[in-house]
Amino acid sequence: MTAYVLLLIVGMGLLVKGADLFVSGASNIAKALKIPPLVIGLTLVSMGTSAPEASVSINGAINSAADLSVGNIVGSNIFNTLFILGLSALIAPIKIDDEVKKADIPFMLIAYMLIPLLTLVITPMRLSALEAVILTAAFVLYTAALIIRTKATKKRASTTTGCARSASTERLKPRALLASALYSVVGLSGIILGGESVVQSASEIAIDLGMSKSLVGLTIVAVGTSLPELMTSVVAAVKKENDIAIGNVIGSNIFNVLFILGVSATIKEVSLSQSAILDIAVMTGSGILLSAIALSSKTINRAHALTFLAAYVGYTAYIIVRN
């Protein structure tokens, strides 16, 4: 089993470093195109930091490890909301942008509620290929709406301040742009290799220790693949980059549920265990909690942060005892 533990550690390292390089390169290119920080957080940064989840879950689907695939997505989203936002807000209270309150958090909650609707009401205890296409289509619609919203915001800014004209003069030098593109390619390669390593080693460790694959997916793999989100949001909180801190988490959650789960179930229909239902309920509950805070407060303060962290500790203790 020692070899599999080492393989798991190497895989996690590739995931984290690969995501770090990918996000750095993509962010530099995005900044050169003058994309607002919130949009960077909701799209390029969130997708980049969610690439480990995508690699692990899609590989899990290919290798018929549905429990690991679903557990990784659900566990990562719970970790993102309760632990990452909790820790980030504990370091520095996070201001919630009005656009995030009105559009992104509600859409995340709708995406969460789609899962029990599809897997409990329409096709009990499974997610069919057709339903997977619905999830993927919803992600495409969200991305299109975000692009339209961004263009409208930039248009308003250019007409009221005239800053867009002066800002557009800044460009990355060709050599720096090439380096950023290279970072992205190398990072993505590391993410793919790391994902394969984590799926194989985690599955073997689960068997050797008598643990269920769902437990490994909800804990070790979910936390490991969420390390890029954790580092990104914590650093953003320290630097007072509120839009990136919260945009990274919400964007990752939407990407995980709609795109990654959608693609995974398209590859192979996903069957759910009884325990997965409660985990999905906890994920939905974390979204409801975040929505309630967004409606009642302008910031995620330290009291909210402690509530998030306590909820995550309690949930983790429960799933360890359950499994």
Q: Which residues of the chain have pLDDT under 70?
A: 33, 154, 156-173, 213, 323
Interior CA angle at 248 toward 261 and 104, to 5°? 75
Q: Which residues pair with 271 in a beta bridge?
A: 126
How far, in Å, CA of 116 to CA of 99, rounded?
Answer: 26
How far, in Å, CA of 217 to CA of 95, rounded?
Answer: 31
**Residue 66 one-letter amino acid:** A
Q: Are 264 and 270 in contact (CB under 8 A)?
A: yes
How far, in Å, CA of 302 to CA of 279, rounded?
Answer: 25
3-class SS of residue 175: helix
User: How high is the pLDDT of residue 164?
Assistant: 46
User: How high is the pLDDT of residue 157?
Assistant: 62
**Residue 46 one-letter amino acid:** S
User: How high is the pLDDT of residue 172?
Assistant: 56
User: How high is the pLDDT of residue 169?
Assistant: 42
3-class SS of residue 168: coil
Q: 212-254: per-residue pLDDT in tens?
A: 767 777 777 777 778 788 888 888 888 888 888 899 899 999 9
Evaluate if pTM is beyond 0.85. Answer: no
